[in-house]
Amino acid sequence: MSSHTSNKVSIIGCGKVGMSAAYSLLHRGDVTELVLHGRSMPELVGEELDLEHGMSFLPFAKIMATTDYADLAGSDVVIVTAGAAQKPGETRLDLTAKNVAIIESVIPQVVKYAPEAIIVIVSNPVDVLTYKAYQIAGLPKGRIFGSGTTLDTARFRFHLSEFLHVNPQSIHAYILGEHGDSSFPAISSASVGGQPLMSMSDFSEERAWKAYEKARSAAYKIIAAKGATYYGIGTVVSHIVSKILHNTRSVLPLSIPLHQYYGFSGVSLSVPCVIGRNGVEETLEIKLDWEEKRRFEKSVTTIKQYL
């Protein structure tokens, strides 16, 4: 456990993503208090009971269903998953108008009742919403960020591992930029056990790009098949929260408001971030080749159109 005796985490928006995150968090055992915040009390109570009935097999945590923002008081981390979900055929950016309005109503309440909390934005389009939330919240840099391309990166490493025959956890390769169609793989700086990815015997540029394409189109494929993606992102959210609560200073590709990152500012995009008890504690300027810088700029331009 971290040095804190209590670890209170609140989830705003208890649909499939929020509840998958709740379920995953309880199984990790990092949380001592879990608040489920939403609009429909009967539904929330149902979710609370369903989770509580499994607690005799899990590390103990107090679970609370509420529609009142005041119950967020004392939260160490607040996760925002509230918002309209992506439908088949929609891009994440298609959700902008609906979900910006939700962020505008949620964030002031979070800041009012849980002013010390780290705020993690998960709702899409995550880069646009993270920057809007950052502007509204007025919190110190790093206290508010988005889940970004952490899931894209996990998918990418998994697909790379299939042809490299190496455990994905030993592959250091990021998908950066937008959590969406203008994302890109940072192949030039990727490595496996200290060896450049591009010099691995099984590497080919074509295979690497195929792995990226699979990672990028994964959400569309899952949404077309079963209507929504939630287990993958739920696991990612609990992973991020665990890194915060344990103050691990791990590096994850998170969506963070940029301040002169490769000369870019005034937008949130995913870059490698050191994460700990204070949220994002620093951003690492990964080495990008000329083509990757161009792709990064394309992501900046894409997101800025929606701000």
Confidence of residue 2 (pLDDT cuts 50, 70, 90): very low
For residue 230, which of 2, 22, 10, 9 has the smallest C-alpha distance? 22
| Nearest in space to 174 (alpha carbons), one of 13, 37, 288, 49 | 288
Given the residues 37, 159, 179, 239, select the one marked as catalytic. Answer: 179
Q: What per-residue confidence (pLDDT) applies to 4?
A: 58
If you average pLDDT over every residue of the chain, what do you get? 95
Write the pLDDT tens digit of every residue in 117-152. Answer: 999 999 999 999 999 999 999 999 899 999 999 999
Q: Is residue 49 pLDDT above 50, yes or no? A: yes
Cβ burial of 205 (10 Å; 0-12, 13-18, 19+) is exposed
pLDDT in tens, 5-37: 689 999 999 999 999 999 999 999 999 999 999
pTM of this structure: 0.95
Active site residue 27: no
CA 58 to chain centre: 25
Q: What is the pLDDT of residues 78-116, one digit of tens each?
A: 999 998 877 888 877 888 888 999 999 999 999 999 999
Q: What is the pLDDT of residue 199?
A: 96
